[in-house]
Structure 1
């Protein structure tokens, strides 16, 4: 099953006249334009490697990376390790402090058909292409993807808890989350991590585009290498692994925004009534509350008017997409089939890269964007459960794109992982 390895991470030189929080950045797919501009003003911020800009952004990132190595901005750790990463956070309306526990390592970039690493979500092709080019030019993972393994005995948690008491970094990120990083160098403990994961499947929680880029690069290099062994650096990918059985694992909903409608508002509302019970609501800021816990229920905010939508149960069997029942039961399948395809005529193949469709995790931002004319309508949805994610992954099928938002997001800048052969081999051979 899953083959993982420790790594000799590249990290910021601790003699820099900057704190680590000035060097970290959000992931490429969640950073806002305003955040980007502020971060770009710091010439040493990790955003220059994760979301490079310019006429040839990937080449610019590669040149900058080499300069940072030569100037000592980044230094490679002397010993390979497993990097323990805890995120402490709170959620609105809840007094509890949650902590998501996990560790960062290299993992083999398994092809989907190998059924070692399971995806649950569709990707947007243009985003994958950007990640392939960046990886090819820099040979660097600037941030880990997020994977889930299942261990009901919690074998690794005591070692992680012990390690996190002596952190390398401790800081608060852009989400208000307290991020703590530590490292395990003990050879026997590292072997336990490798052995524990050796019989596990991994569910890809977040980072489908980055993992897709790593997988495409591996395929390309395998085709070019007649002496391929499976242990070359290009076979591996940086991943943050967490235990799916942990109570503090949280998945938040991702809402949909449409810039415009291909039909009139009146035609759209009339079309909805063929499939949904449509109930007007006075306060749009209650739309997320009136659908909580109700299957196939959505909030709609359109032209200053709020509605609760609930699928008529008798129409659900008419879904004719060739999906297993685990996928057909999902709220977002219902939304994308009945609203986008049947009512708006935006067919499934078009939806993955539809220019007028955007995604928003913040409920109140959805209402604000419609009120300010940045979007024509907002569709509010419930969160997906961990059990639903597992069922879909195990069925071999995938969810619609942007179905899950595992909160909190990991951050960029704590560490980087090289797949340059001379920088990678030491870490690989140390534990093989």
Structure 2
């Protein structure tokens, strides 16, 4: 089908090299700390959704020269599937999502000046109502300005770890077979959407955990065991639970248990005891992640859900929202839901800088990049 689309010009090759500005406009609910009024993105839905905009620059990343820091481990199965797709299509149909630090916004400002007042070259909405807009900028001086701004910066993988590693594997495979790139658009490059963490729409949603299929699970027994290290209090509603999480964001470590129709907050009593609670030679920054504390100080010691159980995917389901997690428990599809604050963007970069991996499902950058928005056919010379 890809070859048919190219032949019938459903997909058209751009005539000149350039960069793209990719703008996503979406709405995301935020929670408010009842004591300070501060708003915490992505923790719930009790307030009217806030309109946000996230901008990214779409460009090619040279795999032979550039490196991007990961924050999560990859699995063999997804990489094998993507490698088969590369072999069959010799094309990139999706992008990796990269982050960078640019407080002065040099790269995006250079592009915004060129497109000011200009309608997007493409505009659409996804199934969730999020707007996706694209501008093509082939101006050589603008491209050079973007390159100058981005080349010195560290790049971090937000989403697309499997695609990135598979692209590297496919490049090595092509080189081993004596293949050569016929230009920059080949197996030595990967398309990427690069987003400045200073963008107001660069946010992460939390990923609630729903526990199921545990033999003889008892909320009371669990709480009795957990309250040695966590202060346990009854919470009246989901709205109140969101307030508890928002109040703790960035200042402490709080979690919400929902089971048997009731909410309970679990607040870590003493962060200084994390070294005792979380064994192993891990950096302090990793131990302080809320998602780490949930997995290593709550799920593993009190419910027996360790890394091996998580890998088997037998007792934990990941929900997209707090409402979904609660609904799964109410519907009898889960025994308990654990709600938590989202990982902060700066925490992702900090962990990547340390060269360690976060626990599974630590980040949910929202919204996702639109698949097929800009594709790249690889130009390859074969022996």
TM-score calculated relative to the size of structure 2: 0.83
- Give 1:288-299 correspondences, 5 Å limit: 288-294=242-248, 295-299=252-256
Is the 2:181–2:380 Cα contact (8 Å) retained in structure 1? no
Q: Do residues 236 (structure 1) and 189 (structure 2) align?
A: yes
The gaps in structure 1 that reach 5 residues or longer are 1-63, 423-432
In the aligned structure 1, how far is the partner of 2:253 from the partner of 2:352?
A: 20
Q: Do residues 163 (structure 1) and 115 (structure 2) align?
A: yes
In the aligned structure 1, how far is the partner of 2:326 from the partner of 2:363?
A: 20
Q: C-alpha displacement at 1:408, in angstroms?
A: 2.0
| 3-state secondary structure, aligned to 1:252 | coil
Q: Do residues 369 (structure 1) and 321 (structure 2) align?
A: no
Q: Do residues 139 (structure 1) and 93 (structure 2) align?
A: no
User: Of residues 101, 120, 143 in structure 2, which corresponds to 1:190?
Assistant: 143
Matching residue of 2:233: 279
Instruction: Render the CA deviation track for 1:314-371: whole Å, top value 9, x for unaligned.
Output: 5422111321111111001111112232223233354345243222221211111111
In the aligned structure 2, how far is the partner of 1:330 from the partner of 1:104?
A: 30
Measured at CA, do residues 219 and 293 of structure 1 come closer, stay the same or move farther in structure 2, by a change above 3 Å? Answer: farther
Matching residue of 2:364: 405
Q: How many residues align?
A: 356
| 3-state secondary structure, aligned to 1:292 | helix
Matching residue of 1:307: 264
Q: Do residues 66 (structure 1) and 3 (structure 2) align?
A: yes
Q: C-alpha displacement at 1:98, in angstroms?
A: 2.3
| 3-state secondary structure, aligned to 2:187 | helix
Matching residue of 1:200: 153
| 3-state secondary structure, aligned to 1:401 | coil
Measured at CA, do residues 303 and 213 of structure 1 come closer, stay the same or move farther in structure 2, by a change above 3 Å? Answer: farther
Measured at CA, do residues 65 and 117 of structure 1 come closer, stay the same or move farther in structure 2, by a change above 3 Å? Answer: same
Is the 1:146–1:241 Cα contact (8 Å) retained in structure 2? yes
Matching residue of 1:174: 127
Q: Do residues 259 (structure 1) and 212 (structure 2) align?
A: yes
Q: C-alpha displacement at 1:84, in angstroms?
A: 0.9
In the aligned structure 1, how far is the partner of 2:285 from the partner of 2:64?
A: 24
The gaps in structure 2 that reach 5 residues or longer are 30-46
In the aligned structure 2, how far is the partner of 1:77 from the partner of 1:344?
A: 55
User: Of residues 300, 318, 321 in structure 2, which corresponds to 1:359?
Assistant: 318
